[in-house]
Structure 1
């Protein structure tokens, strides 16, 4: 277990380096925003396209895998929603809290870290988890918040969700990569080198950006944030583990990757949504901060355990 911790530690040390740079003022919030944009639109997109272009849809899509992840995630989502309902918070706040409980930092942290620690074969399952998070739960939170504000559901909501998905560079790069693979075109050497070099900036850039963004976050209402962090770091991977080990006949390796992906801390894009809609941004900020710090230990424990499953 110590060896796993030492393997994951460099990832969190880069996050810590970014946090120190942001906290000291050496790396201001404006710089963090531009670095995040570079990683999101260029480096991470290049990495995802290159990985996807070397896969096939048959290798990525597994209906049983999707059903297992969707069922376990929906269960945790429902628990977080029920607890929020018992606290009598608004529908919009319920949606944001449930999002914190199930949406991990798969894009910025999961893709580079799990590919390195569990092998490049992990890319297919990780991409599928990312797609479910973005398409299903990313759409659901927007629908719930917008519907709650308007007091009704309208076609305009679904149009906005569709446009948002089509503009998401992670979705676009995955789809284009799989389309390229489907056409069975080899990636020219020059293009492959370009994607490899640009995609290589995704891992350090994303981790540094995560840390720098945490520097501006504070742990307000820690009891709620602590509960949501517990859901994300413990309850979510536990429910996913039950789904893949007991309920659904998922391939052991793919199931192990799914459990590891479920153990990641709360994603930064939940804060972007909360800030955009003005729904409990400080609560989300606290959840990201607490879960990321705790993940230094919990993610190592989970990855160490799942390695024994395949």
Structure 2
């Protein structure tokens, strides 16, 4: 439990600093947007390049990858169906909501918990691979084609070409190609990518804190309350249950390995979802409030999970 407390404390300190910077106006009126764009266009692609280029992919392709994929895609699909039929949302809002309900905070909170609670970083690598190589590119490609253009009706060439210019997809593809090829880039390149990549998490947290300035969660007339509640319930309760069922009965996992799968699924929504929402100017409040609500809920959820499974 000390590891859980430590991981959340780091997050709250940095988010709190971002909030104070927003309250004082020290970074100007457009700081949140600027930081979000920096994370989107520079830091996160650098993180993907370094992470994948220096990873042993043979250890990544495991049952954890399958469990993470099944649980995230299942929850995301449920959100899409329910929000479309019940809330009548358009595609960009549906995509941001689906990410809010299933995109896990692997770096900011996942790594500390994997190290201090699970004592095994290997739980994070498969999830990171799934999110950055498949989940993010698919979601961002959809946003490219619907949020930026305002319509899904595009030419075949534009449908193919627009997502290929996305920096997240490019960073993930470059890192994966380098890892598969076995080529080791010059140390100066790796260190530069590592330095920029390490800035991704704190800058995303600062941007998150900046957006909280003068904000009231579930504010009447402004906050999409039903969307946030739906995304938060799916993220904090449905996703861990699906991960448990998949790990326990499909892959036969027990003990510490089963515990690890459920804890990873119970991590809150990643702040990067807000970065994506800000970039495409759709679902910002949904992404921001879902990340905040799930971060608060994840503390008791992970504590109960530890009590039941250990």
User: What corresponds to 1:128 in structure 2?
Assistant: 129
Task: Please state how far the C-alpha of 1:55 moved relative to its aligned partner.
Answer: 1.8
Question: Does the aligned pair in 2 maintain the 1:53–1:180 contact within 8 Å?
Answer: yes
Structure 1: which 5+ residue stretches go unaligned?
none
Q: What corresponds to 1:237 in structure 2?
A: 240
Q: CA deviation at 1:203?
A: 2.8
Tell me what 1:181 maps to.
179
CA shift, 1:32, in A, is 1.9
1:268 matches 2:264: no
Which residues in structure 2 correspond to 1:82-231 (within 5 Å)?
A: 82-84=81-83, 87=86, 89-90=88-89, 92=91, 95-96=94-95, 98-100=97-99, 102-104=101-103, 106=104, 109-119=105-115, 120-130=121-131, 131-139=133-141, 156=155, 159-160=157-158, 162-215=160-213, 218=216, 219=218, 220-231=223-234
Contact in 1 for aligned 2:109/2:267 (Cα 8 Å): no
What is the TM-score when the length of structure 1 is the normalising length?
0.74
After superposition, the Cα gap between the structure-2 partners of 1:60 and 1:171, relative to the gap in structure 1 and judged at 3 Å, is: farther
| Contact 1:260–1:302 (Cα < 8 Å) also in 2 | no
Which residue number in structure 2 is paired with residue 285 of structure 1? 285
The alignment covers a number of residue pairs equal to 294
Q: Are 1:48 and 1:173, in contact at CA under 8 Å, matched by a contact in 2?
A: yes
Q: Deviations over 1:68-117 (max 9, x none)?
A: 4443334323433454355362554873475255342x4xx423432343
In 2, the alpha carbon distance for the partners of 1:308 and 1:51 equals 33
Distance 2:54 2:307 in 1: 24
Distance 1:88 1:185, change over 3 A: closer
> Per the alignment, in what secondary structure is the counterpart of residue 235 of structure 1?
helix
Preserved CA contact (<8 Å) 2:228 2:290: yes
Deviation at 1:52, TM superposition (A): 0.9
Say which structure is richer in helix: 1
1:9-38, CA deviations, whole angstroms, 9 ceiling, x for partnerless residues?
112220122123224433344222222222
Q: Which residue of 2 aligns with 1:22?
A: 22
**Deviation of residue 213 (structure 1)?**
2.9
Q: Deviations over 1:176-208 (max 9, x none)?
A: 122222332334333333333333322322211
Mapped to 2, the partners of 1:213 and 1:200 lie a distance apart of: 21
Q: Which runs of 4+ in 1 moved over 6 A?
A: 306-310
Matched, 1:46 2:50: no
Alignment partners' CA distance in 1, 2:41 and 2:124: 19
2: distance between equivalents of 1:95 and 1:294? Answer: 18
CA contact (8 A) 2:47 2:200 kept: yes
Moved more, 296-305 or 202-211: 296-305
Query: CA–CA distance in 1 between the matches of 2:13 and 2:210?
Result: 12
Q: Is the 8 A contact 1:49 1:173 kept in 2?
A: yes
Question: Does the CA contact (< 8 Å) of 1:244 and 1:250 recur in 2?
Answer: yes
* Structure 2 residue aligned with 1:76: 75
Q: Is the 8 A contact 1:233 1:264 kept in 2?
A: yes
Could you state the TM-score of these two structures normalised by the residue count of structure 2? 0.74
